[in-house]
Amino acid sequence: MSFKQSNNMKRVFFLILLFSKLGVAFAQSDFNLEQAVQYAVKHSNQLALQKLNLTDAEGQIKEYYAIGMPKLNAKVSYNYFIDVPTSILPDFISPSIYGILFKENLLPARDINFGSGVPVQFGTKNNLSASLEFNTLLFDGSFIVGLKAQQMYKDLLIKQVNQSEAEVRYQVSKAYMSALVLEETQKTLNKNKSNLEKVFQELTEINKAGFIEKLDVDRIELSLQLLNTELDKLNRLSEVTKNVLKFQMNYPVDQSINLTEQLNDLIQKSYVDLLDSNLKLSVKNRPEFQVIDQGRLLAEINVKRYKVSYFPSLFGFASHQQSLLRNNLFDSKDNKWFPTTVVGLGMNAPIFDGFDRKAKIARAKVLLDKTNIQMSEFERGVELEYLNAKTQYLNALNSLESGKKSLALAERIYETSKIKFREGVGSSIEITQSERDVYQAQAKLTEAQFAVINAKIDLDKALGKL
């Protein structure tokens, strides 16, 4: 193989390796619980919209900040007068001359009509001017407070994103657990089906040998058919719960998803010592509290903003203009540029606004009172939620321990029934009944496991740990 061919092979191998890695990266289908949550947080459309609102808020802050920034404008204007404006001036020359002549007796005194005035034209055909105008806000109390409110609004949006992220984690965790429990139930029923098929085959052979009746075999076959029917229902239901999980994760519904989390591992992680001194309720840990508290701060600063609007505002300005006034615009021997420069200060002082600000302050105070009541109700609700979550968790733990004991007992009874039947001292009815008791115990145990994990999720939510 030549050196060139060897390099080409290396390039091909590298591209294959690269595309295989990219394929794995873009086609992830295996998720444990934390991976599913992180995927949902990353791809959530709701969070994406809120983050866009946050970006928009940053733009609003810059837009509002620009109100108080100095501003400089340039202006150029040109006017060509086809007809130069005409003004009428009173004839003050003729009366003076005739007055002297009458006074010196050079002319006999008499009344003379001097007309309505003399038409004259002021200005030039071409007027060209260029100016720079500068103005800036020096002091405005409502602007300063409003700028702080804009930043606080951005902080509110950040806290709302955190609240929504916690809600996404909660919803995905719930959906993941529902799908996982159904998968575990399917595994259990498949195992039961395999065991029952062995029993069926064994009884069929015993029946052929003439030791048992066909009725005993039929009973086991009926149980097997019922089990297959239950498995078919679970398979369809499992697909539904996985679609719900995909929806919560914003995962493509038409792609398969595999749950890699182990139920027993989650059970072990779900054990909590409720007597632990570190396990205390703090309302401030809840993301909802942060949102409501930030809303309260915004309501307070809104009241302050309207109050300081009674203060005067101060602004400064400066302007420089150059004007060129010529009959012939390009005649350099004509008039030169004439400058005009002005600087100054201005103040706006509100005196009477028809009680507009007073009404706005009253409404802002009402909003503040409503926010305080909302905070009080939230604190009461969180305390109740925490107490209920603890109770539900304790009940779930008790059910789990009871379920383990019941399943162990049901399995012993089932094994004893099979042994008795083989030895000819039992009946197929006992096997069928004990088998159903095992299935019920398994279902209750799985339900108790699901309840423990769900109760732990609810407890974490109440404590603000999601």
Tokens of 320: 């420089």
pLDDT of res. 113: 66
DSSP 133-164: EEEEEEE-HHHHHHHHHHHHHHHHHHHHHHHH
Mean pLDDT (whole number) for 47-61: 91
Structural contact between residues 33 and 258, judged by C-beta atoms closer than 8 angstroms: no
Nearest 5°: the CA angle 251, 254, 259 is 55
**Residue 20: pLDDT over 50:** no
What secondary structure does DSSP assign to 248-289, as a single string? HHT--TTS--EE---HHHHHHHT---TT-TT----GGGSHHH
Among 22-31, 242-251, 267-276, name the one with the lowest average pLDDT.
22-31
* pLDDT interval class at 292 (50, 70, 90): very high
pLDDT of residue 8: 55
- By C-alpha distance, which of 464, 462, 453 is closest to 175? 453
Q: In Å, how far are 168, 239, 284, 457 from 379, measured between CA atoms? A: 22, 39, 9, 20
Q: Name which of 36-40, 88-92, 361-365, 387-391 the model is least confident about.
A: 88-92
At residue 330, the 3 state secondary structure works out as coil
Q: What is the mean pLDDT of the chain?
A: 85
Write out the two tokens for 402.
Answer: 């009871």
What letter would DSSP give residue 125? S
User: Would strands 258-259 and 30-31 be described as parallel, antiparallel, or unpaired?
Assistant: parallel
> pLDDT-derived band of residue 3, with 50, 70 and 90 as boundaries?
very low
Residue closest to 136 by CA, chosen among 75, 60, 73: 73
Query: What is the reported pLDDT for 208?
Result: 83
Higher pLDDT, 131 or 215: 131
- Residue-level pLDDT at 374: 93
Residue pLDDT, tens place only, 139-148? 888 888 988 9
Closest CA relative to residue 439, chosen from 185, 141, 256: 185
* Tokens 């060209």 -> residue: 128
Q: Copy the structure tokens of residue 97.
A: 């001359």
Residue 287: pLDDT band (50, 70, 90) is: very high
Under 8 Å between Cβ of 389 and 457: no
User: In the chain, where are the structural domains located?
Assistant: 28-69+140-312+349-463
d(CA 286, CA 268): 25
Distance between CA atoms of residues 374 and 175, nearest Å: 30
Lowest mean pLDDT among 113-117, 194-198, 262-266, 424-428: 113-117
Residue type, 7: N
pLDDT in tens, 318-367: 999 999 888 888 887 888 899 999 999 999 888 888 888 899 999 999 99
pLDDT at 114: 62
What pLDDT digit, counting tens, does each position of 428-458 carry? 788 888 888 888 898 899 889 999 999 999 9
The contacts of residue 9 (CB under 8 Å, 6+ apart) are 1
Tell me what the mean pLDDT of segment 381-402 comes to. Answer: 92
CATH number of 28-69+140-312+349-463: 1.20.1600.10
* Whether the Cβ atoms of residue 384 and residue 394 lie closer than 8 Å to each other: no
250 contacts 40 by C-beta, under 8 angstroms: yes
pLDDT of residue 25: 44
> Is the Cβ–Cβ distance between 45 and 250 less than 8 Å?
yes
The whole-model pTM stands at 0.76
Q: Which amino acid is at 17?
A: L
Burial zone of 74 (CB within 10 Å; 0-12 exposed, 13-18 middle, 19+ buried): exposed
d(CA 163, CA 292): 11
Compare 232 and 114 and report the one with higher pLDDT. Answer: 232
Summarised one tens digit per residue, pLDDT across range 133-177 is 999 999 888 888 988 999 999 999 999 999 999 999 999 999 999
First vs last C-alpha separation in the chain: 60
What average pLDDT does range 7-32 have in this prediction? 57
Quote the distance between the C-alpha of residue 344 and its chain's center.
47
212 near 206, Cβ under 8 Å?
A: yes
Question: What local confidence, expressed as pLDDT, does residue 9 receive?
Answer: 53
pLDDT score recorded for residue 10: 54
Task: Give me the pLDDT at residue 466, please.
Answer: 81
Q: How far is CA 207 from CA 135, 416, 428, in A?
A: 106, 20, 12
* pLDDT per position as a tens digit, 187-208: 888 888 888 888 888 878 878 8
Residues 77-93 have pLDDT tens digits of 999 988 888 877 776 67
What DSSP string describes 99-121?
A: HHHHHTTSS--------S-EEEE
Query: Do the beta carbons of residue 322 and residue 338 sit within 8 Å?
Result: yes
